[in-house]
Chain A
């Protein structure tokens, strides 16, 4: 049963991936601009030379043939070659992935910790000023654009107080501001779920019973409440990680970090379709995998769901 559930979800994931790939193919086929011309015009090439280069890039074939080649390439994990740089897209993405992953993981850690710090007190002290304060902070975090909070962070922690570097990468110090800003923005959703789940669990019978049995509140909290509430919280955290790519695009731009975000913005400006497609597919893959993981985490941690599966 667990295996069958997993299989069904996996098939669903593949279908979604195929759809995403097709959408990526179609969408970008409609963009205006001729890459062959862009590559050569500045060097003074003639229209014949440009046409020859276009044929070389395979842009002349009919749409169904291009689609077929595209799918075949994808199955072999060949994302094609960048039109601008001529290098394999997979290689370019692999070069930029570590930087973005570092940012995403650091930001997720910050988001999870902040989410806990904000959601727990709110649930434990529902209806009081603690609740209002922490929930307000969450909402503020959700509402603040990272391209603004990032600039503010640079202003305060880099220009006025020269504590941290404002741009680039290479050390842990370079990660502090971007991860902090991005993590703060993402923490609101986690805080929300933590608060809701913990509040719900606190009302549950077995918790009341544990209290009645005389167990210390702290023990109740850690052993019973957290374990049962963490399922959905972990799920949301995993999803947030999947969303990190959106956030990374802006954060990488504000803090001038290398990464997938920068790669894809450049590619969109230059109509380097294979690169845009490649990054979008990687993003879709990341999302599908993380939501699969989130589902599994939820299922494993939540005893009720586990029973459902049995």
Chain B
């Protein structure tokens, strides 16, 4: 070709090459302020008014605002969508004065009518709410007092109400959107929070984009508006996929990292482990006090003295979990540190108690027996939370005492059925919650999770009263008594406080979690793209 054409040709080639290189560079990097968050469960229902999964709260806590917020550092409630509130003397009426000028993402104004609409929706039988409804306790109805004043009425005093109202399950949704999308609402959720739900493909990903009009955030938010350009959530349901995804840079944040992987990642130069303690009922084994030989308090106490719980924490949980001394996790409101005095590991004391209860190894087979019966305990486990590993270690530790522990792993529905029938000695469980009223679910005599099968009228009285009082100091005192009674009667073998092991890229800043422990306040999260 001619010289002129050749020049043109070369120029075009160079231009194309440059374009290619630039576009490839563009493909290789993502929007520099996009945060990628890994979720560990893929619930196919993520409507907080309907579904119970805590995973849905991770993105949606920042899509919705709630009437009040729980400050995890002070354990006090701060204004949210309600700028102030009054509780009537009899504890039956909660009057909320709402912030003015708040709008939902679709432009619908937020007002008392909207609040009433939300509560009517949650309590309607058609919705089949799995959690939100039950968080309202003895709810009666909601009244609109005026445009920015709303009153919630109860049939009985219910102290945990404010705590419930601070959670995403009772977040405020746009009435217009709910009515418009009906059964498909969960795919197009509209709140008033710092992020907008931009896109949701079930099981694949969820995309949040900042709400540019947001200016009514609570005091617990450090920033007025979202710092990240967008947040993309993807699902990593299998524990084996989580640390590889972090290490390969596929995600920036991922929760529920298995303890042994977390231990390894602690020494990584690009990742850090953010340990978030979860308030609520610790991981513990409930002892069935109605089934011999656990009906003898000495045998139960022997189990507690004979368990080296520190070994469990270091072997199974890699020392990343605090040891649990009582039924409540240490960062829960109402936790009584006096429980730490109970049952230090003492093998001899355990042996002495068992002997006192009449158990001896009369036939020299290594197992204790009494009146011809061997000391055999059965545990019914569910497959999560490292319960199988813990029970294996317990089996070995109690073997040294002469006790045989046999465990089986069953599904949750089956465990509930076995629990109802009472054909077990031990069941381990843990449940998260920021209000100590959670103890009532487990230790009140007719409660559905009363797996110790305890029937203690005095403790029932404490639990009932504490759920009705509004004075915090009085409630704390009562729950303290409950915890001491539980440990004194050796109703449970506490193992550890639940912690969420979050793997976080060191480029992520200001990742803070709310009072429930599970839910991040995404408004402040940002990627420091200028390096580590």
Contacts and interface: CB of A to CB of B under 8 A. Distances in A.
B412 A86 contact: no
A200 interface: no
Contacts of B411: 33, 268-271
Given A87-B44, A87-B45, A258-B203, A33 B414 contact: yes
A253 to B, nearest CB: 8
A37 B412 CA distance: 10
B240 A256 contact: yes
Interface in B411-433: 411-414, 416-417, 431
A154 to B, nearest CB: 9
A34 B419 CA distance: 13
A222 to B, nearest CB: 44
A224 B412 CA distance: 60
B164 to A, nearest CB: 11
Contacts of B45: 85-87
A45 interface: yes
Interface in B271-305: none
A86 B127 CA distance: 11
A43 B133 CA distance: 9
Interface residues of B, number: 32
Given A34-B413, A41-B416, A53-B128, A85 B240 contact: no
B344 interface: no
A40 interface: yes
Contacts, number: 82
A214 interface: no
A274 B413 CA distance: 15
Contacts of A53: 128
A38 B416 contact: yes
B417 A43 contact: no
Contact of A95 (B202, B238, B413): B202
B43 A271 contact: no
Contacts of B414: 32-33, 271
B397 to A, nearest CB: 28
Nearest to A154: B240
A52 B129 CA distance: 13
Contact of B236 (A87, A168, A262): A168
Contacts of A256: 237-238, 240-241
Interface in A16-62: 32-35, 37-45, 52-53, 56
Contacts of A165: 244, 248
B240 A37 contact: no
A33 B131 contact: no
Contacts of A41: 416, 448-449
Given A43-B52, A271-B414, A167 B238 contact: yes
B107 interface: no
Contacts of A271: 411, 413-414
Given A33-B414, A34-B413, A87-B45, A44 B202 contact: no
A44 B248 CA distance: 41
B223 interface: no
Contacts of B237: 256, 258, 262
Interface string A92-106: 100100000000000
B52 A95 contact: no
A155 to B, nearest CB: 13
B469 interface: no
A166 interface: yes
B241 A168 contact: yes
Contacts of B133: 43
A167 B241 contact: yes
A85 B128 contact: no
A56 B133 CA distance: 17
Contacts of A35: 413
B245 interface: yes
A42 B431 contact: yes
B9 interface: no
Contacts of A34: 413, 416-417
A40 B244 contact: no
A205 B230 CA distance: 72
B256 to A, nearest CB: 14
Which 10 interchain pairs have the tightest Cβ spacing? A256-B238, A33-B413, A38-B413, A167-B241, A43-B134, A85-B44, A256-B241, A43-B131, A33-B414, A168-B241
Given A33-B416, A40-B134, A262-B238, 9 more contacts: A32-B417, A33-B413, A39-B130, A42-B431, A52-B125, A85-B45, A86-B128, A165-B248, A258-B203
6 contacts: A32-B414, A33-B413, A33-B416, A40-B130, A95-B203, A256-B240
Interface of B: 43-45, 52, 125, 128, 130-131, 133-135, 202-203, 236-238, 240-241, 244-245, 248, 383, 411-414, 416-417, 431, 441, 448-449
